[in-house]
């Protein structure tokens, strides 16, 4: 049983790295743009990985809340506003989980809507990955460079990110099912080596290597205005996406991947798990955290099958945060954007293919409608619209 719950090998390590493409860009940007505490942020991520893996006993994803993250980065919100959103999200998720309201939401949610959320999330991951590879992501635009931390940006007329991404994509395709040389491990290790070789440098100027203790409530407590703003601008737009993707779509995918081993991964427990994580993140000055179907697809596709992957990636983040403090950002910047992009593309394709078990035209229509609305607006709107259309199409006299 222990070996089934915790395995520590190169496949688990490779799988643990599979979702860095989603996690690192938002986390690093929220430190650089919004002023969040890097020590508290990455320590909270590491602790969440470790504790959720130990409790659930299988691979469990940890991701940033993307609606909050994207809006916060794009508008340069203050740390107080982001921390207020973490606390409010924690309260909402705790209420929905403890009262069992999430189970009522799940009963009212057709399977076609779940698959539509997974398809849409997968498409967004693929699109985000391609942007990293060609150099047009928001993070790269902020720095006005395709690879902000490398010494040069092009080889002739070709962006360096496109070259790195193309090589990494080919290696990933060749090694994706290779257990001796796992694709995720080889690509990430190769990316770090490429970063060093192409001019990325580690700067230990802020405190150096040592033992850095996180400060509780480093920013103080957010004010009433911060909570009011966070509620309407961040939390309410995030909630439908969190319930649709980070709870319903995630627990469904976990059952598909792990079967009976995922019996602890219920909708209620997923909500409570995320609530507790956000309370911790609020105290440590980190970012809003969640689970997510896309993260699970990424970890699974690159080899993660047990909670051992959680312990490995969690310890990596926690140890780096405690040993390096603020300098952790400098180390993580060694990994080229294009490498993160490749990880996103393969994770997104894995998640998108979950729609293959749909059987009727109506179900495919709902799933693709959610995709279209998501691309035109956002996943929260797609989820709500999909729910309405799926219920309308239950009427037998309607056809598509």
pLDDT at position 259 over 50: yes
Query: Which residue ranges make up each domain of the chain?
Result: 2-392
Q: How many CB atoms lie within 10 A of CB 78?
A: 15
pLDDT above 60: residue 2: no
Rounded-to-integer distance, Cα 70 and Cα 103, Å: 28
pLDDT above 90 as % of the chain: 79
Pairing of strands 154-155, 158-159: antiparallel
Q: Render pLDDT for 137-149 as a digit per residue (tens, 0 to 9).
A: 988 988 899 999 9
Q: What is the pLDDT of residues 326-371, one digit of tens each?
A: 889 888 889 999 999 999 999 999 999 999 999 999 999 999 999 9
According to the 3-state scheme, what is the secondary structure of 324-360? HHHHHHHHHCCCCHHHHHHHHHHHHHHHHHHHHHCCC
pLDDT tens, position by position, 78-111? 999 999 999 999 999 999 999 999 999 999 999 9
Residues 6+ apart with CB under 8 A from 177: none
pLDDT confidence bin for 1, thresholds 50/70/90: very low
Residue 207's pLDDT is 65
CA of 382: how far to CAs of 116, 374, 378, in Å?
9, 5, 6
Q: Average pLDDT of the chain? A: 93
pLDDT of 202 over the 60 cut: yes
């Amino acid at each position: 049983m222990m070996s089934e719950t915790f395995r520590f090998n190169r496949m688990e390590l490779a799988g643990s790295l599979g979702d860095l493409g989603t996690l690192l860009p938002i986390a690093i940007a929220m430190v650089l743009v919004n002023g969040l505490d890097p020590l508290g942020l990455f320590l909270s991520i590491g602790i969440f990985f470790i504790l959720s893996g130990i409790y659930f006993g299988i691979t469990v994803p940890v991701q940033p809340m993307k609606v909050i993250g994207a809006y916060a980065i794009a508008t340069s919100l203050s740390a107080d506003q982001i921390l207020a959103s973490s606390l409010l999200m924690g309260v909402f998720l705790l209420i929905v989980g403890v009262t069992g309201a999430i189970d009522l939401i799940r009963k009212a949610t057709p399977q076609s809507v779940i698959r539509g959320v997974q398809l849409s999330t997968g498409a967004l991951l693929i699109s985000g990955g391609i942007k990293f590879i060609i150099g047009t992501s928001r993070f790269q635009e902020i720095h006005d460079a395709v690879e902000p931390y490398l010494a040069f940006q092009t080889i002739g007329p070709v962006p360096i990110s496109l070259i790195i991404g193309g090589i990494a994509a080919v290696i990933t395709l060749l090694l994706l099912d290779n257990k001796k040389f796992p694709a995720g491990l080889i690509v990430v290790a190769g990316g770090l080596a490429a970063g060093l070789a192409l001019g990325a440098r580690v700067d230990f100027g802020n405190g150096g290597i040592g033992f850095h203790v996180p400060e509780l409530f480093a920013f103080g407590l957010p004010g009433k205005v911060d909570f009011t703003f966070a509620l309407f601008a961040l939390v309410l737009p995030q909630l439908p996406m969190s319930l649709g993707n980070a709870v319903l779509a995630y627990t469904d995918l976990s059952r598909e991947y792990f079967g009976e081993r995922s019996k602890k991964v219920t909708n209620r427990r997923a909500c409570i798990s995320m609530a507790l994580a956000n309370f911790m993140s609020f105290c440590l000055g980190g970012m809003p955290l969640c689970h997510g179907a896309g993260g699970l697809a990424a970890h699974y596709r690159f080899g993660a099958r047990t909670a051992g992957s959680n312990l490995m990636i969690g310890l990596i983040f926690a140890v780096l945060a405690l040993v390096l403090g603020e300098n952790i950002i400098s180390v993580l910047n060694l990994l080229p954007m294009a490498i993160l992009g490749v990880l996103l593309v393969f994770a997104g394709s894995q998640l998108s293919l979950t729609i293959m078990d749909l059987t009727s035209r109506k179900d495919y229509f709902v799933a693709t409608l959610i995709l279209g609305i998501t691309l035109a607006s956002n996943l929260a709107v797609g989820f709500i619209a999909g729910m309405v259309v799926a219920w309308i199409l239950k009427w037998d006299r309607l056809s598509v």
